[in-house]
Amino acid sequence: MAAKRRVPLRARIEMSGAWVISDLSDVARAVLLAFADLGIYLPSPRERLMLKIQALDPLDAAELAEFIDLCIEAELLTDADAGRLRLSPLEAKRLAASLDGHTPVPEDQADDWAKLLGGSPA
Query: How far, in Å, CA of 35 to CA of 30, rounded?
Result: 9
Query: How far, in Å, CA of 114 to CA of 24, rounded?
Result: 28
Query: How far, in Å, CA of 95 to CA of 10, rounded?
Result: 20
Q: Is residue 121 part of a domain?
A: no
Query: How far, in Å, CA of 28 to CA of 109, rounded?
Result: 23
Q: What is the DSSP string of 53-75?
A: HHHHS---HHHHHHHHHHHHHTT
Q: Is residue 69 part of a domain?
A: yes
Q: Higher pLDDT residue, 48 or 15?
A: 48
Q: Is residue 29 part of a domain?
A: no
Q: Is residue 88 part of a domain?
A: yes
* Of 2-6, 9-13, 27-31, the least confident: 9-13
Q: Is residue 8 part of a domain?
A: no
Q: Is the pTM of this model over 0.95?
A: no
Asked whether residue 109 carries a pLDDT value surpassing 60, the answer given is no
Q: What is the pLDDT of residues 67-108, one digit of tens each?
A: 777 777 777 777 777 666 655 566 656 655 665 555 555 566
**How many domains is the chain built from?**
1
* Of 3-12, 38-47, 55-64, 69-78, the least confident: 3-12
Q: Is residue 57 part of a domain?
A: yes
Q: Is residue 22 part of a domain?
A: no
Query: How far, in Å, CA of 78 to CA of 72, rounded?
Result: 5
Residue 31: per-residue pLDDT:
73
Q: Quote the domain boundaries for residue 51.
A: 35-116
Residue 26: pLDDT band (50, 70, 90) is low
Residue 70: per-residue pLDDT:
76
Q: Is residue 55 part of a domain?
A: yes
Residue 101: per-residue pLDDT:
52
**Residues 6 or more apart whose Cβ sits within 8 Å of residue 37:** 96, 104, 105
Asked whether residue 6 carries a pLDDT value surpassing 60, the answer given is no
